[in-house]
Every structure is written in C-alpha cells, then in structure tokens.
C-alpha cells in the first residue's frame, strides 16, 4: 500500500477550509488543518462543519488540529493565512519541518524587511523547498466544487510533480512556472489595479472606459514585473491576467469593492488604519515605490492615483485619460556593442521596447569597435543576427561613428533616445530633438566580466 501524502493546511478560515476540502477528494492525501481554537477543531472533527465561514455546509473528511505537535510527520505545508501573520507563524512551524517538507505560500502581499513572502520564508527555513501558489479562485466557489486553477511557482521538477499529484481527482488544476518571484509580485500588485477598476466602474459605469483602464492596468503591471525581477510571461498565467480579471471585475472581490466605495463617495479615510484591504494595499504600494526607479514610477499613472487615494486624506481620485495612454506610436532608439548577448542586454532591450511601439538598435560595427579600442568575440553580422531574433527589437542599424546620433534621430523619426545610466548626461544634447532617458543597468553581470571568465577557461 502506498504511503499517503501528509498535508497540513495552516489557516482554517475561508480559503484554508476550502483548500483542505478539495485536497481531501484525493484518496492518496491525508489532510490536516490547523485551527485557531480547540473549539473550532472539535467542530470540524465531530460535526464536519466550519459554520463561521461556511454556514450549514458539510465538509469532506479531513482532520483538524490545534497544535503543530499533533502531527508526527508533515510532507507538504500550505500557508493559507493573511500575509501579516507569516512572520509569527514561521518560527512556530520551523521545529516540525523536516528536510524534504515542501512549504507552499498562498498568502498575497509582501513580507518583512522589503521581501516578497516566499523570500522571507526561505530566509527562515534554510534548505527547505518554498513554493508559491496563486490563482483566480474564490473560496466559496472552490468549496462548491467548481473547477478552479492556480499557478504553481516552483524551483525543481520533483516539486511540481509532487504538487501536481496531490491535486489529482480534485476540482483544482494547475499551470506552472519557475518564476516564483513573479508569481508573488503579480498576485500582490493586481490588488492595486482592482481598486482602480472598481473606482472606474462606480464613476463611469461604462464598458468602454472599464476595458480602457484594464488595458492600461496590464501595461503598468508589465512594467512593475520587469522592474521587480519577474518575467513578462508570468502575467499570461492564471496568477496574472486570470487573477487580475477575477479581482478587478467580480463584486466578490474586496479590493474591487473598496474601489466601488471610493467611486461612490462612501469611503471614509479615517477607517484606513483598521481596514485590512487598505493596509495590504499600502504595503504593496510602498514595496513597489521602494524597489523601483523614479522613471518607472513616473510611467504608472494608475498606480500613482491609488497611492494618493490610500495615503492622502480626502484626496479625490483623478485620472487624466490623455496621460493614461502614454505608450503612443513612438520610436525608441538605443545603441550598443551587444557582444556575448546576456541577461543584462535582454533586460535593457525589453525595458526599452516598453517605451514605444518600435525599437531601433544602433549596433557598433567591427571597424567602429577598433576605433574605440574594443574587440568583439562575435562579428557585426553575427551580433546583428542575434539581435534580430529578439521579438522586441524591430530594426538593427550600423553604428559607424560617435557623431551619427543626431542624423539617426532625424532619419528614423525617433521620439525617445535610451541608454544605460552609466552614460547619464552624455547624450543630453539630443533633448532638443527627442526625449532622452537613462535606464539602470542590470546588477551583477557585464560583458567584460564574461570575457574575463572565458579567458580563464
């Protein structure tokens, strides 16, 4: 007989109860749920109910406990508690975690010391697998057996296989990514935009305006994901667009409801200090502001409005629709050698493309590199070929000398000139012709360092 997976769900509230109920549908799972009180544990065990959260609803068979030591062995732990409780729960849980235990975070928000929650948990549970599970799922529908989906953020294939197996024969389905940080970030920041869209619906009651703002929300989320180290493709998963849609467009969403209240004029700023939705929203806003450049924040008008409404007493939500759509039909120009194409190059090119609809890259020729005292590993033709395979590069042109930039700006009708911030101020002479911006370089990687490693090898 096969051993059962021993699963502990921490948190016997609405979501934890619904999750435990679904997991117990799999006969190969032995499911436990940790309650706040012995009375709640007794109710679940003796009556198969949790009436505080699901009145008059019979639960499937799982075991409620009130102490960690009640379970001799835990294979998988789900954290289904508010993010503010994580820092208190992890030290209590730690003594009962064994080497192969997998810890899965369902909490949405940001943790202590400016970390995403999974990073905070990992810092406390060294060597333990810490995963993320987020998706467009309301607990009430999960409890009713409705087919539902989550994104699993994982590190190793054995982790994804294990978690996939415990959801077999349940009403829960999964999609997958190794971008754990992206899953955490997108699940937290979408709440900010649910508030904005709730406000828009209350204020305008227009499908046209709603989806105009929703489209812009997706654009802003992409910018934030890139800024905070997530991957753009994570937004395409259920934790991204799926959860954004659920939270922004469904009246069961607390964040959307807050936006509706603001739009109708029923929101009392004096209650902000006790409103858990507002508290989580403010934490998310602060995390993003503390980990983003001023340039990125300046490109997030919806974000800025929600920030003001949650932080400034009596502020009136004010969206300038003209400024809202800032990615107009713009041409962006940047230059570089792009030898030994690496992650840092890809990041700056991806960011550059977010500024417009067409990205032109001026690529230093082999002859120009000689004048600069540089020698490329790859020829101009090969480097050009590499760049042209990237979906966010529209055109590659030769850079033959230092003085061609003014002509290039004119010839290609450039709206924005972008370079890394190590060139800051060097191209300000172009400001009479176009907008000039300097983007931060990706830390910890450079072409010079890669060439040094290759030489040693």
102-105 vs 76-79, strand pairing mode:
parallel
Q: Give SS3 for 153.
A: strand
**Beta strands per DSSP E along 109-203:** 129-134, 148-153, 172-177
Return the beta strands (E) in 74-183 as ranges.
76-79, 102-105, 129-134, 148-153, 172-177
Q: Chain centroid to CA 120: how far?
A: 16
- Helix (H) / strand (E) containing 388: helix 380-388
Do 22 and 170 meet the contact criterion of CB atoms below 8 Å apart? yes
At 381, list the tokens: 């033709």
Q: How far apart (Å, rounded) are the C-alpha atoms in residues 302 and 319?
A: 7
Whole-number Å distance between alpha carbons of 339 and 380: 9
With tokens 């979906």, the residue in question is 391
Q: How far apart are CA 287 and CA 108, in angstroms?
A: 13
Closest to 118 measured CA to CA, from 229, 244, 14: 229
202's CB contacts (< 8 A; 6+ apart) are 259, 260, 261, 262, 263, 264
DSSP 291-337: TS-HHHHHT-HHHHHHHHHHHSTTPPP---HHHH----S-EEEEEE-
List the one residue out of 213, 199, 210, 202 whose CA is nearest residue 317: 199
CA distance 330 to 355: 7
Which distant-in-sequence residues (6+ apart) come within 8 Å of 456 by Cβ?
Answer: none
Distance (Å, whole) CA 217 – CA 194:
9
- What is each CA distance from 3 to 30, 34, 38, 129, 214, in whole angstroms? 9, 22, 28, 21, 47
Furthest C-alpha separation in the chain: 82
**Strand partners for 335:** 362
Residues noted as catalytic: 372, 374
């Amino acid at each position: 007989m096969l051993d059962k997976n021993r699963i502990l769900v921490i948190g016997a509230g609405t979501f934890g109860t619904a999750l435990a109920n679904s997991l117990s549908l799999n006969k190969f799972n032995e499911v436990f749920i940790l309650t706040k009180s012995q009375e709640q544990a007794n109710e679940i065990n003796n009556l198969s109910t949790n009436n505080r959260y699901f009145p008059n609803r019979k639960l499937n068979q799982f075991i409620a406990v009130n102490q960690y030591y009640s379970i001799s062995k835990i294979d998988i732990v789900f954290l289904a508690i508010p993010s503010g409780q994580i820092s208190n729960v992890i030290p209590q849980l730690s003594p009962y975690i064994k080497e192969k235990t997998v810890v899965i975070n369902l909490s949405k928000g940001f943790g202590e010391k400016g970390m995403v929650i999974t990073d905070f948990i990992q810092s406390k549970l060294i060597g333990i697998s810490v995963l993320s599970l987020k998706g467009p799922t309301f607990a009430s529908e999960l409890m009713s057996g409705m087919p539902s989906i989550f994104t699993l953020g994982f590190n190793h294939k054995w982790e994804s296989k294990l978690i996939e197996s415990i959801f077999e024969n349940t009403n829960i389905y999964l999609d997958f990514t190794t971008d754990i940080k992206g899953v955490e970030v997108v699940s937290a920041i979408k709440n900010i935009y649910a508030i904005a869209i709730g406000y828009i619906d209350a204020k305008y009651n227009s499908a046209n305006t709603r989806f105009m703002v929703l489209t812009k929300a997706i654009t802003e989320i992409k910018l934030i994901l890139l800024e905070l180290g997530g991957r753009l493709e994570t937004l395409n998963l259920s934790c991204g667009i799926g959860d954004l849609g659920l939270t922004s467009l469904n009246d069961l969403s607390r964040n959307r409801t807050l936006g509706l209240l603001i739009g109708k004029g029923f929101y009392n700023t004096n209650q902000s200090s006790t409103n858990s939705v507002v508290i989580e929203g403010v934490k998310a806003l602060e995390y993003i502001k503390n980990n983003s450049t001023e340039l990125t924040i300046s490109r997030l008008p919806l974000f800025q409005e929600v920030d003001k409404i949650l932080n400034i007493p009596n502020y009136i939500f004010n969206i300038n629709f003209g400024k809202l759509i800032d990615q107009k039909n713009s041409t962006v120009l940047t230059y570089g050698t792009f030898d030994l194409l690496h992650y840092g190059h890809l990041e700056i090119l991806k960011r550059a493309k977010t500024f417009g609809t067409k990205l032109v890259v001026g690529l230093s020729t082999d002859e120009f590199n000689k004048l600069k005292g540089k020698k490329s590993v790859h020829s101009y033709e090969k480097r050009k070929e590499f760049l042209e395979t990237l979906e966010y590069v529209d055109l590659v042109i030769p850079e033959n000398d230092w003085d061609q930039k003014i002509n290039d700006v004119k010839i290609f009708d450039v709206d924005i000139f972008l370079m890394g911030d190590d060139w800051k101020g060097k191209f300000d002479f172009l400001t009479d012709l176009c907008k000039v911006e300097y983007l931060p370089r990706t830390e910890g990687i450079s072409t010079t360092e890669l060439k040094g490693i290759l030489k040693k090898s």
